[in-house]
Amino acid sequence: MPNHLGQAPTRWARDYVFDILSELGIHHIFGVPGTNEIPIIDGTSYPENKVEYIECLHENIALGAAMGSARMTGLPGVLVVHVTPGIAHSIGNLFNAARSQVPLVILCCQQQNELVTQEPLLASNLVDLARQYTKWAHEVRAAEELPLVLQRAFKEAMAAPNGPVFVSIPWEFTMREIGPDDKIKGVTRISPHFTGAPESITQVATALREAKNPIIIAGDAVGYANAWTELQHMAQLIGAPVLLQTFSSVANFPNDDCHWQGELPGTQAGVQGVFKDHDVAFLCGFSNQAQITIFKYSDGALIPPAVRQVYLSNNIWDIGKNYYGEAAVFGDIKATLPLINAELGATPSAAAAARNGHLAALAAKRQQQWNMYFVEALAEPNILAVVIAQALREEINKRDLNKKFVYVHEAVSDPAPFQYLLPFGTAGAAPISYYCVGGGSLGWSMPATLGIKLSQQGWQQIDAEFVVAATGDGSSLFYPQTWWTAAHRKLAVLYIITNNHEYHTLQNGLKQLVAAYGDAPGYEWHPKDNNTDPSYLRIESPVMDFVAIANALGGLAGEVVRTPEDVKAAVRRGMDHVLHQRQAYILDMRTAQNPPPPPSTDDATGSTRALVQPALNVFHQQSQLLSNAGPDDNQNAPVIF
Binding region for ligand TPP (CB under 6 A): 92, 412-413, 440-443, 472-475, 498, 500, 502-506, 641
Closer to ligand TPP by CB, 134 or 634: give it.
Answer: 634
DSSP readout, 234-257?
HHHHHT--EEEPTT-SS--S-TTS
Which one of ligand TPP, Mg ion, none is in contact with 289 (Cβ closer than 5 to 8 A by kind)? none
Ordered alpha helix ranges (H), 50-191 = 59-73, 85-89, 91-99, 126-131, 146-158
Closer to ligand TPP by CB, 267 or 341: give it.
Answer: 267
| Cβ–Cβ < 8 Å for 160, 221 | no
456: Cβ–Cβ under 8 A, 6 or more apart, which residues? 72, 463, 464
Stretch 434-473 residues interacting with Mg ion (CB under 5 A): 472-473
DSSP readout, 296-319?
-GGG--SS-TTSEEEEEES-GGGT
| Cβ–Cβ < 8 Å for 453, 407 | no
Which one of Mg ion, ligand TPP, none is in contact with 309 (Cβ closer than 5 to 8 A by kind)? none
| Cβ–Cβ < 8 Å for 29, 44 | yes
Closer to Mg ion by CB, 277 or 380: give it.
Answer: 380
9 SS3 class: coil
User: Which helix or strand (DSSP H or E) is residue 621 part of?
Assistant: helix 621-628
Closer to Mg ion by CB, 432 or 637: give it.
Answer: 637
Q: Using CA atoms, how far apart are residues 101 and 98, in angstroms rounded to an integer?
A: 5
Q: How far is the CB of 501 from Mg ion (least distance, A)?
A: 7
For residues 576-585, one letter each, b for 16 or more C-beta atoms within 10 angstroms of the residue's C-beta and e for the rest, the string is: ebbeeeebbb
Which one of Mg ion, ligand TPP, none is in contact with 594 (Cβ closer than 5 to 8 A by kind)? none
Closer to Mg ion by CB, 192 or 472: give it.
Answer: 472
Q: How far is the CB of 202 from ligand TPP (least distance, A)?
A: 43
Closer to ligand TPP by CB, 101 or 500: give it.
Answer: 500
Which one of Mg ion, ligand TPP, none is in contact with 255 (Cβ closer than 5 to 8 A by kind)? none
Closer to ligand TPP by CB, 318 or 502: give it.
Answer: 502
Q: How far is the CB of 470 from ligand TPP (least distance, A)?
A: 10
Q: How far is the CB of 386 from ligand TPP (least distance, A)?
A: 14
Q: Using CA atoms, how far apart are residues 228 and 474, in angstroms rounded to an integer?
A: 33
Closer to ligand TPP by CB, 313 or 498: give it.
Answer: 498
Which one of ligand TPP, Mg ion, none is in contact with 92 (Cβ closer than 5 to 8 A by kind)? ligand TPP
Which one of Mg ion, ligand TPP, none is in contact with 100 (Cβ closer than 5 to 8 A by kind)? none
Closer to ligand TPP by CB, 283 or 510: give it.
Answer: 510
Q: How far is the CB of 546 from Mg ion (least distance, A)?
A: 12
588 part of the interface to Mg ion, by CB under 5 A: no
Q: How far is the CB of 411 from Mg ion (least distance, A)?
A: 9
Closer to ligand TPP by CB, 413 or 419: give it.
Answer: 413
Which one of ligand TPP, Mg ion, none is in contact with 331 (Cβ closer than 5 to 8 A by kind)? none
Q: How far is the CB of 479 from ligand TPP (least distance, A)?
A: 10
Binding pattern for the stretch 469-508 against Mg ion, x by CB under 5 A and - elsewhere: ---xxx-------------------------x--------
Count of residues touching Mg ion (by CB under 5 A): 4
Q: How far is the CB of 621 from ligand TPP (least distance, A)?
A: 24
The alpha carbon of 575 is separated from its chain's Cα centroid by a whole number of angstroms, namely 23
CA-to-CA dists, residue 483 to 27, 103, 491, angstroms: 21, 25, 9
Q: Using CA atoms, how far apart are residues 391 and 410, in angstroms rounded to an integer?
A: 18
Q: Which residue's Cβ has the minimum distance to ligand TPP?
A: 472
Binding pattern for the stretch 242-261 against Mg ion, x by CB under 5 A and - elsewhere: --------------------
DSSP readout, 478-544?
T-TTHHHHHHHTT--EEEEEEE-SB-HHHHHHHHHHHHHHSS-TTT----GGG-SS-GGGB--SSPP
User: Which helix or strand (DSSP H or E) is residue 283 part of?
Assistant: strand 280-284
- Going by DSSP bridges, is the β-strand pair 457-458/462-463 parallel, antiparallel, or unpaired? antiparallel
Q: How far is the CB of 356 from Mg ion (least distance, A)?
A: 40
CA-nearest of 371, 440, 417 to 639 is 440
Phi-psi bin for 40: left (phi > 0), alpha (psi -120 to 50), beta? alpha
Closer to ligand TPP by CB, 395 or 473: give it.
Answer: 473
Q: How far is the CB of 419 from Mg ion (least distance, A)?
A: 18
Q: How far is the CB of 514 from ligand TPP (least distance, A)?
A: 17
Closer to ligand TPP by CB, 295 or 641: give it.
Answer: 641
Which one of ligand TPP, Mg ion, none is in contact with 505 (Cβ closer than 5 to 8 A by kind)? ligand TPP
Q: Using CA atoms, how far apart are residues 96 and 77, in angstroms rounded to an integer?
A: 14
19: Cβ–Cβ under 8 A, 6 or more apart, which residues? 183, 184
DSSP readout, 169-234?
EEGGGGG-EE-TT----------S-PPPPHHHHHHHHHHHHH-SSEEEEE-HHHHHTT-HHHHHHH
316: Cβ–Cβ under 8 A, 6 or more apart, which residues? 330
Which one of ligand TPP, Mg ion, none is in contact with 412 (Cβ closer than 5 to 8 A by kind)? ligand TPP
Contact residues toward Mg ion (CB under 5 A) are 472-474, 500
